[in-house]
Structure 1
Amino acid sequence: MVLWTVVALAVVVAGAGTALYLWADGRLRSTEAFGEYPGRPKAGRGTDWLLIGSDSRATLTPEQRRELHVGSNEVRNTDTLMIVHQGDHGTTTVSLPRDSYVAIPGHGRGKINSAFALGGPKLLTRTVEQATGLRLDHFAEVDFLGFVDVVDALGGVRVRVPAGGLRDERSGAGFAAGCQEMDGVQALAYVRARYSDPEGDLGRVRRQRQLVSAVAEKAASPSVALDPWRALPFLSASLDAVTVDRRAGVRDLARLARGLRDAAGDERRAVTVPVGSEPRVPGAGDVVVWDRRRAGELFAALREDRPIPTSDLK
């Protein structure tokens, strides 16, 4: 569920006029996402974003919960996490599996997505910083309903479903193999499916990146970019869907968008943190443990704004 890219792309699509930026900045919601703490990593080179898709159900009606297949659990976790690094070598995205088993400050070890439920954006950003050694500059969040509204405002997206199709009763996914148009509800089901995927959380990460490319292509197409009757509703839905840190503005999102648009579909610049094992931990269930050496090399390259190690290009 990586629709934070849509939010930024929408700004670029709609144009860069001063009046539009002022209007968009006034619509943009913000939250206190960062805090100082002892041992916080020093700033590296380039700019690092933490982009998340949250699975909050708080604003959903019972009918919407049934339609979206999200249940009634009120715990607020992150359904998707991604670091976006922007530097001299372009834009690189690093997906962090939601089941990554890491240290959560003040709460021992647990799945990285639970940090959001335990302490909101501040605890999540601190958890990610300490796990990666990167000092984050910006934060952006999109929730379930925002995701659906943004895809629908685009008029849907075209996605190629891999051989064998995808079916998952828990997410609502029921797709045959091949290219097909998906509306917002269908796209949400597609990227949230993992219980029927033999690769579990890692398979879902790949589908999230696939959707980023589909959204980038549709948003940049002349049918949207050159049509104000489509571009402006897209921008409006995107702004309603996103929450950013206090220091981020629409221009920051626009810069993020340009980088993501250029990187979309380039597998050399879209990676998943290297994984060492996927054990079952008492009290936590199935978890993802990072390969400490390779993950360390990857994050060191981002911190120093160097090309990422060739071994992590997958």
Structure 2
Amino acid sequence: MLVLAGTPIGDVEDAPPRLAAELAGADVVAAEDTRRLRRLGQALGVRPTGRVVSYFEGNEAARTPELVAALADGARVLLVTDAGMPSVSDPGYRLVAAAVEQGIRVTAVPGPSAVLTALALSGLPVDRFCFEGFLPRKPGERRVRLAEAARERRTQVYFESPRRLDASLAAMAEAFGAERRAAVCRELTKTYEEVRRGTLAELAAWAAEGVRGEITVVVAGAGEDPEKGAVDAAELVRRVRVREEAGERRKEAIAAVAAAAGVPKRVVFDAVVAAKHGGGGAAG
């Protein structure tokens, strides 16, 4: 049997009670970092009796067949990562897929999750959400990914390095709209836990001063309006028209409406153009 075990994302007291028993009873413990596993075992007052092997991004492909062979021979293999649930932006998916293909039972010891903890603390809609993992490091690839996510209506959850947080938040503000609501969750469950809420523009300015710790970013879905919910194209056009009638230039009106609705300027521009060519003349 393959057992995926959640580990604390900060406070060691959050470890699920079954984790100690699994560490003590597994035939093989595959750990993302064997040194961190040793420290976790000491904190829990347990020492693995089975064989301990490393299982991380660098050796995941090579070690998976070895672990599958052990499973096929009847071993109980426990997989743990540095924090949270295996497979969620951590090693594990490849091993799970290989075990399932061989008809080997896979189970889990549920535990802490940075994704769900940040989502719950964000103050943003939680009824529908998606997890986007880490954004690409290269600016061009990051822009492409964010452009694809710009119209996503579900709340989005990202992991990010503190060194790249300011650049990523600035890129989100450009792609999603400066006024899109978001929350940066830092050092969850640890001593210096912090949840910073605001617009993407505000959070980007804050992050520019430097941020430390483990980071999870939660971003509101496209078209979220605190009072009216999703903003459709006709409503965007109407808002532009109101601003134009008040004397605002179209370019500035489109930018302001996009920022307020939390959508890219291109979305508003396309809606205005479509309304004009559709003969409605709503903003023409």
TM tier, smaller: under 0.3
Q: Please, what TM-score do these two structures have when normalized by structure 2?
A: 0.26
Higher relative contact order (CA 8 A, sep 6+): 1
Greater strand fraction, Structure 1 or Structure 2 = 1
Which of these two proteins has the greater Rg computed from alpha carbons? 2
Q: Please, what TM-score do these two structures have when normalized by structure 1?
A: 0.25
